[in-house]
Amino acid sequence: MARIAFIYPPLMHETFEENLKVVDEDFGCLPPLSLAYAAALAEQAGHEARIIDTNVLRLGLPEVERQLREFRPHALAFTLSTYMFHRTTAWMKALRASLGVPTIAGGINVQLYPEETIRTEGVDYGILHFGIAGFPALLKAIEEGRDPVGLPEVVALDPRGRMVIGPVDPQPNPYLALPLPARHLLPNHRYYSIISQRRNFTVMVTSTGCPARCRYCAIPSRPRYLNPVDRVIAEIRQCHDVHGIREIDFFDADFFADRRRARLICQRLIDEKLDIEWSCRASIGRFNEDLLRLAQQSGCRAVYLGIETPEKEALVLLKKNVSPDQVREQLQMMRRVGVRALGFFMLGVPGETHASAARTIRYALGLPIDYAQFSRMIPKPGSDIHREHVEQTGSDYWRDLVGGRPVPPRAPNPWSRISEEALENWTKLAYLAFYYRPSYILKALARLRSTDEAWRSFRTMGRMLKAFAAPDRRSVIDPGPDTPQDARTP
């Protein structure tokens, strides 16, 4: 039996991300679900696992080293995103040197950039796909002192320094072979989201991929798998009965994409009579009023909607199949049913000017939504606009980033007519305009259900005001003229 430690380093905002720094820092503390799945695979194979979530526990490297020396792991495992690549690999390098054990990296960045990942100092092995076959096989090889090069789903360097990717044979539905996430290894009482109202709180997925083809999003490029409904309900019941969880945020790209399946999950939740509230993400037009009422009866309290922009030409170019009229109709339906709405909006869309950015903000202010998130549009790694930009220019910002080559502070945005500095200022203005209206503040106060939620809300409002207080107030109110170059479509 091997001992395997899963480390989740502190999350830090990076300049190239789409969100503002204060938004990323106050979005919440969410459980590292991918590590919980990997830990469950390790335990299922007979190994001993421990998860150290330094992000929620506020642990520094010395304390983590102390805990690991007590645990005496045979290997260390991490999840690698492209955004957090260098911060995570710095932890891998430091802990590998301190403990003298191999490191394993999973996550989307290994899939996107295996060569750059495996050649980064501090990374010994990578795992592709869900790791159902490869991860236990890799742990067994490490335990027995065997060379794991060539094992299924394993990325490694052979003795000559060549990258070897083991055979990947995706199962028809990986959820049929995956154990439930090892939430017993997580401090479930510490997690929350920016709009959660109950403890304990967790996140969960009932499907991967997305049937929509929005060009700015990376999720449609990933395989779509559906977690069987019986397994979904079993996981929810375990959350409720074993871990005292009372609120769940379903992180599916579109919970209502399959209406029949969504209806079945909602009805099963009603039948189970669990004291659970939940939120989810959905595309505009995916649900009707009958389904939404069933969801509300089963505990649905909020739905996150990708509204993005009122600019019709930009919506067409981004393959965002939605219109402002559809948005208003869907939001009015949610208001009637009593389900809160969070709208996602983007600034810097194709053809963006100061005038169109102002229209997006006015659009958001005029919609019946309870929360809003404003982001800069960027070429997310793995998205269609990212791939097309690489094909057109021969330059891959994210590959250069993870490969350690010099890159600008932000990824290119050739389709917007305004500067990155202006987009930043418009995004700040959007938050100030939306959240600091007296009418909104009064409604937000009326929604509060706990002192914990109230404290988080006031802290976030204070941090936003401080962060958005520009030395020159005009830099926020008047972001400046449009840049002279023509906007180019992504």
Instruction: Give the span between the Cα atoms of 152 and 131, in whole angstroms.
Output: 8
**Both structure tokens of 124:** 């010994």
For residue 488, pLDDT beyond 70: no
**Both structure tokens of 328:** 């208003």
Instruction: Give the span between the Cα atoms of 12 and 54, in whole angstroms.
Output: 12
pLDDT for residue 470: 52
Which residue type is seen at 68?
Answer: L
For residue 483, pLDDT beyond 60: no
β-bridge pairing 48-53 and 75-79:
unpaired
Comparing 140-144, 275-279, 475-479, the range with the smallest average pLDDT is 475-479
User: Mapping DSSP to helix (H, G, I), strand (E, B) and coil, where does residue 442 land?
Assistant: helix
Which residue type is seen at 464?
Answer: M
154 bridge partner residues: 127
Structural domains of the chain sorted by starting position, each given as residue range(s) with its CATH number in brackets: 3-166 (3.40.50.280), 191-377+413-437 (3.20.20.70)
- The mean pLDDT of 45-74, rounded to a whole number, is 97
Top-confidence residue, 292 or 443: 292
Alpha helices in 166-224 (DSSP H): none
464 pLDDT band, cuts 50/70/90, is: confident
pLDDT over 90, % of the chain: 83
233 pLDDT band, cuts 50/70/90, is: very high
For residue 476, pLDDT beyond 60: no
Instruction: Give the span between the Cα atoms of 69 and 52, in whole angstroms.
Output: 13
- The mean pLDDT of 107-120, rounded to a whole number, is 96
Instruction: Give the span between the Cα atoms of 389 and 180, in whole angstroms.
Output: 38
What pLDDT, in 10s, does the model give residues 158-183?
A: 999 999 999 998 778 999 999 999 99
For helices 85-99 and 61-71, the axis angle rounded to 10 degrees is 50
For residue 490, pLDDT beyond 50: no
454 pLDDT band, cuts 50/70/90, is: confident
User: Mapping DSSP to helix (H, G, I), strand (E, B) and coil, where does residue 331 land?
Assistant: helix
Q: Which residues contact 162 (CB under 8 A, 6 or more apart)?
A: none
Instruction: Give the span between the Cα atoms of 71 and 75, in whole angstroms.
Output: 11
Backbone φ, ψ for residue 129 (5° rounding) = 60, -145
Q: Which residues contact 402 (CB under 8 A, 6 or more apart)?
A: 82, 85, 86, 109, 113, 116, 117, 120
Q: Are 200 and 184 in contact (CB under 8 A)?
A: no
Comparing 48-62, 63-77, 399-413, 455-469, the range with the smallest average pLDDT is 455-469
Largest CA distance in the chain: 66
**Both structure tokens of 259:** 């209406």
What pLDDT, in 10s, does the model give residues 65-88?
A: 999 999 999 999 999 999 999 999
User: Mapping DSSP to helix (H, G, I), strand (E, B) and coil, where does residue 291 land?
Assistant: helix
What pLDDT, in 10s, does the model give residues 190-211?
A: 999 988 999 999 999 999 999 9
pLDDT over 70, % of the chain: 96
